[in-house]
Amino acid sequence: MTVVYMTRVRYGLLVGSFVAAVGATMYAVFLYPRQHIDYYKTQQSKNRAAIKIDDIQPGGMRVWSDPFDRRKHD
């Protein structure tokens, strides 16, 4: 009975650690950037400050737009 119990405990720890790892990854990839939009917005403006859009924009295509600019619904 003890061997079966230890196997179940190990299995539970394995599954629990997998769930925790997936949860930590989801937080880092999805939730953290959504909660810190201002930080990413300022980083993006700093990174694109030296880029002249007219020099690199192919003809006939629209210029970059701000991905953080939310449309207002009436």
Question: What are 25-59's pLDDT values in tens digits?
Answer: 999 999 999 999 999 999 989 988 888 777 777 77
Tell me whether residue 46 is exposed, middle or buried, using C-beta atoms within 10 angstroms of its C-beta: 0 to 12, 13 to 18, 19 or more. Answer: exposed
Q: Does residue 60 come out as left (phi exceeding 0), alpha (psi in the -120 to 50 range) or beta?
A: left
User: What are the domain boundaries of the chain?
Assistant: 2-46
Which residues, 6 or more positions from 33, have their beta carbon under 8 angstroms from its beta carbon? 40
Q: What is the 3-state secondary structure (H, E, C) of 51-65?
A: CCHHHHCCCCCCCCC
C-alpha separations of 27 from 12, 31, 45 in Å? 22, 5, 24
Asked if pLDDT for residue 3 goes beyond 80, the answer is: no
**pLDDT of 71:** 67
